[in-house]
């Protein structure tokens, strides 16, 4: 289930699908994805597919994790990154090994608590978690060199744009309702450029907190 051959097979598939960052692929090869799902699903952890984690949320498909991470880091190393939607903690763990500091917000307390345990188990100490409405970001820790959202709003929240660093801050976010697109938004002072990366399917970004 967790053999080197099984993990290598997944990483080879990601490379064949166009993931080029050796750093991203290396981190995902070593990270034990099976600990981020319930034991009953552990045997499927290294398939290139999304998996349920409860509360109508999912652990993203490995390709999407790699694609979003690569896009976020494509312009060079980042110091401070905001993740909107901690979920299982898997994407948090990937980011934490590639940037200096990760600030991750989650609106569903039971998911956040499980993620905290998993990150502690992996001795990841540069990820800071907060129970909060993700649409609001984490303003007191802004500005961020990068922001990644793992749920899809109908349109890009202004609050997230405002929390990007003015000097090239990068936002990777799925946007849309029935038809969703993965966007890369880059901030240049008070102006923003936008690029459509590819069609995607994410759970909707909801407001409020679930305890």
Residues identified as active-site: 60
Q: What is d(CA 129, CA 54) in angstroms, rounded to the nearest whole number?
A: 19
Q: What is d(CA 183, CA 45) in angstroms, rounded to the nearest whole number?
A: 26
HSE toward the beta carbon, residue 148, CA cutoff 13 A: 27
User: Whose CA is closest to 49, among 38, 58, 57, 40?
Assistant: 58
Q: What is d(CA 115, CA 121) in angstroms, rounded to the nearest whole number?
A: 10
Query: Which SS3 state, helix, strand or coil, does residue 65 take?
Result: helix
Q: Tokens at residue 199, please?
A: 């069609």
């Amino acid at each position: 289930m967790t053999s080197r051959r099984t993990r290598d097979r997944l990483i080879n598939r990601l490379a064949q699908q166009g993931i080029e960052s050796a750093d991203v692929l290396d981190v995902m090869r070593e990270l034990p994805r099976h600990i981020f799902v319930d034991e009953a699903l552990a045997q499927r952890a290294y398939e290139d597919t999304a998996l349920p984690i409860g509360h109508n949320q999912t652990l993203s498909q490995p390709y999407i994790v790699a694609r979003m991470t690569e896009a976020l880091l494509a312009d060079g190393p980042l110091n401070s990154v905001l993740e909107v939607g901690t979920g299982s903690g898997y994407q948090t763990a990937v980011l934490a090994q590639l940037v200096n500091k990760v600030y991750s917000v989650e609106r569903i307390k039971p998911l956040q608590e499980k993620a905290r345990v998993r990150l502690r188990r992996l001795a990841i100490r540069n990820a800071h978690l907060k129970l909060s409405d993700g649409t609001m970001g984490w303003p007191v820790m802004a500005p961020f060199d990068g922001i990644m959202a793992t749920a899809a709003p109908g349109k890009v929240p202004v609050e997230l744009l405002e929390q990007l660093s003015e000097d090239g801050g990068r936002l990777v976010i799925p946007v849309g309702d029935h038809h969703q697109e993965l966007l890369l938004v880059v901030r240049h002072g008070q102006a923003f450029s936008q690029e459509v990366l590819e069609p995607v399917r994410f759970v909707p970004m909801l407001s409020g907190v679930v305890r």
